[in-house]
Amino acid sequence: MPKTPSLSTIGPVLELHSYLLFIAASVALILVPGPAQALVIATTLDRGQRHGALTAVGLNVGTLFHAVAAGLGLSAILATSALAFSIVKYVGAAYLLYLGICALRSSRASDASRLSHSSPTSSRVAFGQAVLTGVLNPKVALFFLAFLPQFVDASRGAVMLQFLLLGLTMAMLDTLYELVLVHLTHRLKGRLSRSRRLETLRNRISGVVLILLGVRLALQER
């Protein structure tokens, strides 16, 4: 006979105490400065508030991908296969380096060409770049493989649903936090944009941040 859901459960699969503990742990982890926040800030400085927000959302679509991968056991492949880990790592690092070089080159672009960043096509590209960046980070996959199972109770069944709910929760929390960073960075950018020299410096900083993130990813070990 199936158990009757009580106030101590979240839906049919998650226990309330464990879920609240997961939220607390997620918030603590999200507040620690990391590559995702650096990428969101750099994108906002270089391309504006809209692109910064799209980057935040896109990165967390990648978070959901890794939650599903952890549930399916795909992340375990990266944990056990040095070749698979290296391939994903170097592809991701090369992509970040490419974005960084593009950002450095854009610092030399004219003001007219910068206006094109607000086009719908450019927005879709920014979102796609963020999703791809999130997916091509094997350290995130390994983190989810180690972190999410601690809060999954196989005895409740619907294990994949539990992974999805936990991943969605973390993605939403992280998106909200990064959107706050986008807003604050955009306000700072408004002050800096009054100076042409500071604007050029801002774009160069964004490019350097992306390149450093790429190098950091390339040097990471499992």
Q: Would residue 21 count as lying in a domain? A: no
pLDDT at 104: 74
pLDDT in tens, 65-93: 888 888 887 666 666 777 777 777 787 77
> Do the domain assignments include residue 77?
yes
Q: How sure is the predictor about 114, in pLDDT bands with cuts at 50, 70 and 90?
A: very low
Average pLDDT of the chain is: 76
Write out pLDDT tens, residues 150-166: 787 777 777 788 888 89
Residue 93 within any structural domain of the chain: yes
Using pLDDT thresholds of 50, 70 and 90, give the confidence band for residue 111.
Answer: very low
3-state class of 129 per DSSP?
Answer: helix
Asked if residue 6 is part of any domain, the answer here is no
Hey, is 14 helix, strand or coil?
A: strand
Domain coverage including residue 207: 40-219
Q: What is the mean pLDDT of residues 172-183?
A: 94
Query: Which of 34-43, 101-110, 124-133, 174-183 is least confident?
Result: 101-110
pLDDT band with cut points at 50, 70 and 90 for residue 23: very high
pTM exceeds 0.75: no
Residue 154 lies in a domain: yes
33 inside domain:
no
CB 52 within 8 A of CB 186: yes
100, part of any domain: yes
- How many structural domains is the chain composed of? 1
Mean pLDDT value across residues 49-66 = 92
Residue 169 in this model has a pLDDT that exceeds 90:
yes
Task: Tell me if 23 is assigned to some domain.
Answer: no
Class of residue 183 by CB neighbours under 10 A (exposed 0-12, middle 13-18, buried 19+): middle
Buried b (16+ CB within 10 A) or exposed e, 17-44: ebbeebeeebeeebeeeebbbbbbbbbb
